[in-house]
Amino acid sequence: MTDAAPVIARVEGGWGRLTLNRPSALHALNTQMCQIMAQALLAWRNDPRVAAVMLDHTGPRGFCAGGDIRMIMESGAQDGVAARAFFAEEYRLNALLFGYDKPVVAFMDGVVMGGGVGISAPASYRIATERTVFAMPETGIGLFPDVGGGWFLPRLVGETGMWLALTGARLKAADCLLLGLATDYVPQGQVEALKAQLLADPGALDTLLTEREADAGEPPLARQRADIDRLFGAESVEAILNALEADGGEWALAQLATLKSKSPQAMKVAYRQLRQGRDVQSFEAEMAVEYRIAARVSMSADFREGVRAVIVDKDNAPRWDPPTLAQVTQQKLDAIFEPLPEDEEWTPAHLNEGGAQRGRR
Ligand code: QUE
């Protein structure tokens, strides 16, 4: 089935159901997938047949690995037009989900990274399983934690968001629950039965989730909370690295080694994005900021090099440019965050078709 739709959108038993269906790429999002989802969500806003929205995936390998970064990189190596078109659509989808008036239930089974976080974090119900692997890994490919990372991450407890953004750390279900990234835990073996019950009775959502809710176990992150808040609250990326080095403990040195492998430019972009994101007034305003960053970073040498090292050649030996934090100057960062020409800025425009949205948060 070479022409299978990459997202299956249909109305089923009182639900609007969006099923990611690009298993060969771990459901990494492309422009078409974002458009299919946004169009369905817009149509379902005022569709009386749709009481709630379900977001899931086909196949066994997980929910969503991110974005179609090879396409984005190849576009960025040329004029970047297709890359920007992708980010614009993806961020509109993120914003549409964020403000959606009907309950949205996302099954965060398996890999939930980058773009997968962007479509699950705004859902009102976020169901983890024992296979959930959550991460914002973008600093490892010279990108930055987008899809609303600048909104969600600084709003997590303490400095856990900064830690996730800079290190790209992977979390399992118990830690996702601890941080509120997931709202519920259901064993993977019960997910299909739960979906069948939900589809039969959308009104029983809360009851069914309570019935299927299981114990995800102890969250390992609980033991690191104090260290994270102390070390990742420092006043700059350089200061965080210095604090980790000065600490000298096993955990701190492991974090230090991880940070030394990441793109210095991407870490400094993420740091500024998250610190500024604390005070951003709306999710839409955050997405406009992230689109500016994406427009610049998708054209950058570091992003090309990151995709080469991690995705294309898989040598995991990126040669970052600039190679040091000191060389990522204030001036370079200012240029990445600078507003775009007015007619090129991101807007949620088409989200407001058929009346203004009422934000949930
Ligand atoms: C950072 C990322 C992504 C990544 C790895 C990173 C990303 C992404 C993928 C990915 C993984 C497997 C696939 C695929 C894409 O990896 O966004 O198509 O099969 O999509 O370190 O941001």
pLDDT for position 349: 75
pLDDT for position 3: 59
* Ligand 1 centroid from CA 143, angstroms: 11
pLDDT for position 360: 39
pLDDT for position 128: 98
pLDDT for position 359: 40
pLDDT for position 357: 44
pLDDT for position 71: 94
Annotated active-site residue 279? The verdict is no
Does the beta carbon of 194 lie inside 6 Å of ligand 1?
no
User: 7-344: what fold?
Assistant: 2-enoyl-CoA Hydratase; Chain A, domain 1 (3.90.226)
E strand segments, 37-185: 52-57, 62-64, 104-108, 111-113, 125-128, 133-135, 184-185
Segments of the chain with pLDDT less than 50: 1, 354-361
Query: Measured between alpha carbons, how far is 45 from 16 in angstroms, rounded to an integer?
Result: 10
pLDDT digits (tens, 9 = 90+) for 273-287: 999 999 999 999 999
Residue type, position 54, single letter: M
Annotated active-site residue 79? The verdict is no
pLDDT for position 352: 57
* Ligand 1 centroid from CA 307, angstroms: 9
Does the beta carbon of 26 lie inside 6 Å of ligand 1?
yes
Token duo for residue 250: 């096993």
What pTM does this model have?
Answer: 0.95
Annotated active-site residue 229? The verdict is no
Long-range Cβ contacts of 157-163 (<8 Å, 24+ apart): 157/225, 158/225, 158/228, 158/229, 158/233, 159/228, 159/229, 159/231, 159/232, 159/233, 160/221, 160/225, 160/228, 160/229, 160/232, 161/274, 162/232, 162/233, 162/240, 162/271, 162/274, 163/228, 163/232, 163/255
